[in-house]
Structure 1
Amino acid sequence: MPSATLSATKADLFKRASTLSLLSLSLAFSSFSSADFSPKANPVPGGVAVIELPNSIGEGTPEIYFQGQRVFTMSRAQNKRSDERRVTWVGLPLSLNAGKHSLDIHQPGGRIRNVFLEVRAPEKPQQKHIISRTPLQKDLTPAQQQRIQQEKNKIQSFLQRWSGNPPDNRVFLRPTEGSVSQGFGEQRFYNGEEVYSHTGVDMSGQRVFAPADGTVVLIDDLFYQGKHVIIDHGQGLITQYSHLQAINVRIREGQKIRRGEEIGKVGNTGRHIEGMRFAQPIKTPHLHWSVSLNGTYVDPELFLIKTQ
């Protein structure tokens, strides 16, 4: 074989080998990015701040707090160019003012450090204020009001939970196959009193699935939420599923649930607030899905991201 042809053949083989190596690296990075999931960062009220902590915090596992609530922390690289370090997800309350806010790092040994996060004002605040001389009259009986408050307190107690179990670090699955029909964050106030807050997203669909591994902590039939399930995913990450028509008979309170396992069927159980009527039956079947971090509701659509 002529030397020129041999050289060309070697060059071609080297090019193919290089292409395969690059493909392998690409697949490795793809696997890395899908296995090390973070929600889309959006540091506005109702959003999520994703913060890579400085390596200077030292050895050991720190505890990170925002407004007195411990926050989700994962030890890994935030992106392909980062060394292994800790990343924290901070849920930002809808009531939070724009500006600088402190994140408190409790280091092993008792030292406390602070880093600051910048919260932006939302582009389109979703607040509606009604001012009237007429006091608010809710079309609810005293018994119904008492039940609603008790159920609200029960849910709030689950939102404040802290489990040290390592969370599932894979990309969230969609909880149902349908599209989002109403987004997160709308609030209504009557003479300064909040009468409505859309703390999740409404989604069409038929079957409902767990988006990540976790523990079922509540199965109940509630006044507003109807047939309702709460899953604790660890480290203050909680998801809720409302208005279900039926709940999978194989799941029980206190048991583990796996990513992709069926929770139940989409339905129209429960009630909602419409105008100044506080106990309207739900007509259109849908899933109301909510996500909370460090005790505060955040936009679930930030978790429905596509991997590269």
Structure 2
Amino acid sequence: MTYKKLLTLLSICCFSSSSFAFLPQNSLRAGGIAVLPISEDVQQVSFQNMPVLLTHEAQKKYAIVGIPLSTPVGSVKVDTDQGPIHLDIQPYAYAEQHIQLKDQSFVEPSAEQLARYKQEAEEQQRIYHSFTPSTWNSFPRFIAPTPGKFSNSFGRKRFFNQEARAPHSGLDIPAPVGQKVVAPANGTVVGIGDYFFNGKTILVDHGQGLISMFCHLSEIDVTVGQHVIQGERIGLVGKTGRVTGPHLHWGMSLNDARVDPQLFLQK
């Protein structure tokens, strides 16, 4: 690789958090997104052995990398066919959330419930590992899937009945049961289910490893394989699964990393 190309690749590490047209907001933190300008010569990009989304905006090429919530602070490497890119992951203070559940089985599931959860998790994980061609020429503009005030719950360290659990990997939008949920961008429905923890759930594939997830629904109005367009109704807000009240859990997965959905919305 030439010195000029190396400079082009490494220069992105100095970018501060920002947004590019309809591209996601750049946020170099665990649970964030790296928006990396790259040379047209770069054809393949991967992060932690997962392929990375590539797109164009304003005649420039970008790699859009999801950073898992488990990523430690410090330098991490994004691999490309033109050489590695090093990112400096910054500290980010996520809040804690203490939740009291009446149904103890959602805290300490039985063996049968654990077996069910394992099967459901594997089913969802296969979707998160998928990588399909995109159906757009430039990165799509995302909209919120339902009206409501965001709870800023993404990334919270959660405690259920005083017992620590994994950080919250989605954004909760409090809303009444029956409120409409729409597709935030065009995509294909790749999964539906009534899961132990997530309740009634829809997964939509937007292309190149970018997956939307909608949980705790009261109603599912789509089928697997159905193409949906932005703003189209896909279901209704509910309180199914492990919840303390009605709301929509909106999750976004990018190269199998659960990232903050708010980073896809324009400020």
Distance 2:231 2:206 in 1: 14
Query: Could you state the TM-score of these two structures normalised by the residue count of structure 2?
Result: 0.81
Residue in structure 1 matching 2:154, options 184, 204, 228: 184
Name the residue aligned to 2:67: 92
Aligned to 2:4: none
Match for residue 236 of structure 2?
265
Q: Which residue number in structure 1 is paired with residue 26 of structure 2?
A: 41
Number of aligned positions between the proteins: 236
Shift of residue 120, structure 1, vs aligned partner:
1.1
Q: Which amino acid aligns with 1:252?
A: T
- Higher-Rg structure is 1
Which residue of structure 2 lines up, in the alignment, with residue 196 of structure 1? 166
Q: Paired residue for 2:57?
A: 76
Quick one: which of 125, 133, 140 aligns to 2:109? 140
Greater mean deviation of Cα atoms: 138-147 or 181-190: 181-190
Question: Aligned partners of 1:210, 1:96: CA distance in 2, in Å?
Answer: 29
Of all paired residues, the percent bearing the same amino acid is 37
CA distance in 1, matches of 2:172, 2:159: 21
Gapped runs of 5+ residues in structure 1?
Answer: 1-32, 78-83, 107-111, 129-136, 272-281
| Conservation of the 8 A alpha-carbon contact between 1:183 and 1:200 | yes
The residue that corresponds to 2:36 in the other structure is 51
Q: Contact (CA 8 Å) 1:176, 1:204: kept in 2 or not?
A: no
Q: 1:144 aligns to what SS in structure 2?
A: helix
* Secondary structure class of the residue paired with 2:262: helix
AA aligned opposite 1:120: Q
Please point out which of 170, 174, 185 is paired with 2:140.
Answer: 170
More helix by share: 1
Give, as a single letter, the amino acid of the residue that structure 1 aligns with 2:133.
Answer: G
Q: 1:284 to 1:182 in 2, by over 3 A?
A: farther
Q: What does the per-residue CA deviation read over 1:57-108, in whole Å, with 9 as the maximum and x for residues that have no partner?
A: x3xx60110111111110233xxxxxx22111111111111222222112xx
Q: What's the counterpart of residue 15 of structure 2?
A: none
Give the gaps of 5 or more residues in structure 2: 1-18, 98-105
SS of equivalent to 1:113: coil
Q: For 1:41 and 1:184, how far apart are their aligned partners in 2?
A: 16
Deviations 1:265-307 (A, max 9, x none): 1010112xxxxxxxxxx3411000000100010011111223x
Q: Residues 63 and 148 from structure 1, CA distance in 2 versus in 1: closer, same or farther, beyond 3 angstroms?
A: same
